[in-house]
Structure 1
Amino acid sequence: MRQFNGSLTLGLTGASGAAYGTRLLSALVRAGYQVHFLMSDAAKIVVRTELEEIWPDEPEALATHLTEQHQAQPEQIKVWASKDWFSPVASGSGAPKTMVICPCSGGTLAAIAHGLSDNLVERAADVILKERGRLILVPRETPFSTLHLQNMLSLSQMGVTIMPAAPGFYHKPSSIDELLDFMVARILDHLGIDNNASQRWGCED
């Protein structure tokens, strides 16, 4: 069996900011982690709109596509269909103990906060909560409504890390890639994964 540095779940939903999720996927692959990759139906539309990419619908074909795109090892990226309730991430007995949803839509945020699971992204997050695992949500919305804020507070009180996609500018970014890498670096920090994805405060290049 191939050995990886760890295993986690990465979900993409229908919020704007698909590039954050794909950039994070690349970083996790380079760090040697196995990634259970999930997408909502809305996320596929966002990928097509923002990244101008049409990804295969079938999980195995998408896994092959992402493996080639991100130069991953065989079996390093496992893709599961949005309604695959028999996948490992749907059960506490088989799911990784860590999950990131990047980007996280307001609807996904609400579903997780209230225990409503209509797709595998939401179910996987529900599993993380019940198993007392680590869940990081990266909402990309502005402004936040009162409902958004209440849902984020509820989840934070459950131990969820809320990391809005709000990159800093103290490193004087000169490209969109540097803004993406800023957020990826912060997410990796909270996952406990060593990285130099972005310049840190008080540090020289």
Structure 2
Amino acid sequence: MGFSVLSRESIIAHIQEVVPIVANFIVLLTGLLLFQILFAQLPVPAYAAITLVLPWIKFGSMFANTWAQASTIMVSQYLGKKEFASIPPFVYQSLMVTRIIAVFIALGFFLLSVSFPYFYPNLSSETLTALSIIAPIYIILPLVRTNNMFCGNMIRAMGDSYMIVRINIITQWLIALPLCALMIYLSAPLYIVFGIILFDELLKCYSFRKTLQKRLDSYLA
């Protein structure tokens, strides 16, 4: 075995499978860093509020992402067994659970929003005001983002990794990030600037859902 199993064709095939997955992570992580760099241009209380909220958003997203990745393993097994007809009902059931998880995350964020003064008693009144302004946005965010996480993982498991990269590049890099920079330059209200994160997820939602539905329909054909 060892290097004897390597060939030009196998290496190219491996790269074709891995590159879009790696590219997607780079696009998303770099995009998040650029958002944070842009947010740093905001007034100190606004930037402090966003900085406090972002780790909690990541923490909440972890639960939905874990469920989505576990579900993709099951889909991969169905694909390996060529049990294509079993995939659509399983995906619909898993998506329903994902939406229930999203509701609980949103409720958790609501409780978090009213608990910030107790978690961080030394915050200034300006920072607390900024937290209250962005609260509706990060409370609603998981209802959309968890759906996108689920659809993205499923589409990737079904072999459309390049589609995920294209959607993320268009919505985040070509629309959301430039729009965020423009709003900050124009001194737009905080809820508009921070709300671009939610706007980015809303842009992805239709494309992800349409692509996933197209794949599921093909398994029933």
> How does the TM-score come out when normalised to structure 1?
0.28
Larger % of strand: which?
1
Larger % of helix: which?
2
